[in-house]
Amino acid sequence: MAWYELNKYHEPMITLDFLITSFIVVLIPGTGAVFTVSTGLMRGKRASLWAALGCTLGIVPHLLATILGLAAIMHTSALAFSVLKYAGVAYLLYLAYATWQDRSGFSFDQAPSQASAWQLVVKAVLLNLLNPKLTIFFLAFLPQFVSPKAASPLADMLILSGIFMLMTFVVFAVYGLLAHAFAASL
């Protein structure tokens, strides 16, 4: 049987719809993009690349939750989904409060406190860990692109997630590098 005969019975997993929708989801600025841009503005291009890497690694827990079947739990339990959603909101409010209290981030006459690459990555991972946009994408949207007829749905999920993560890293790295270039030009 030729590949085109198989293809008429099995939808391709990497579709143009998936690529476009994933790209739009990545492009929409969220907490990770804001963190990467602010890191690029205040700490430089190398730090922004570490932030982009951390935001990308912050996707892994969402992927694991989907693979381990938490998507089914979230679909069946409105309470579980609400708890996750409100935990994300609480963390974002905490970050907003911490940013509001830290006046050094708003003054340009002093250098920002130094953060190691590890600290930037951990902060970015935590930011994306409770990111509601990623939760919705991985628990509700991504599984729709895995065909029930797939020989290995897990492999398909990992490939699609890998593509999404690659898009995330590239877009966030560009955001951070552009922010650094903007700051350097000023």
Query: Tens digit of pLDDT per residue, the chain (186 long)?
Result: 444 444 444 455 788 989 999 999 899 888 899 999 999 998 999 999 999 999 999 999 888 888 877 656 656 667 766 776 677 677 667 766 766 665 554 455 455 567 788 999 999 998 888 777 887 788 778 888 887 777 888 888 889 999 999 999 999 999 999 999 998 887
- Asked if residue 28 belongs to a domain, the reply is no
Residue-range definition of the domain harbouring residue 88 = 47-102+117-186
- In tens, the pLDDT along 27-58 reads 988 889 999 999 999 899 999 999 999 999 99
CB half-sphere exposure, 153, CA atoms < 13 A: 12
Residue 1 pLDDT? 42
- Asked if residue 94 belongs to a domain, the reply is yes
Residue 7 pLDDT? 46
Split into its structural domains, the chain has a count of 1
Residue 6 pLDDT? 44
- In the block, residue with structure tokens 């929409």: 28
Gap between the Cα atoms of 105 and 51, Å rounded: 16
- Asked if residue 170 belongs to a domain, the reply is yes
Q: Could you tell me the two tokens for 138? A: 């991985």
- Asked if residue 15 belongs to a domain, the reply is no
Calculate helix-pair angle for 45-57, 153-185, nearest 10 degrees. 160
Gap between the Cα atoms of 42 and 24, Å rounded: 26
- Asked if residue 16 belongs to a domain, the reply is no
- Asked if residue 14 belongs to a domain, the reply is no
Q: Residue 139 is which amino acid?
A: L
- Asked if residue 177 belongs to a domain, the reply is yes
Residue 144 pLDDT? 82
- Asked if residue 32 belongs to a domain, the reply is no
Q: What is the H or E stretch that residue 126 is in?
A: helix 117-129
Residue 14 pLDDT? 83
Q: For the CA atoms of the chain, what is the radius of gyration?
A: 19
- In the block, residue with structure tokens 């291009």: 45
Gap between the Cα atoms of 69 and 64, Å rounded: 9
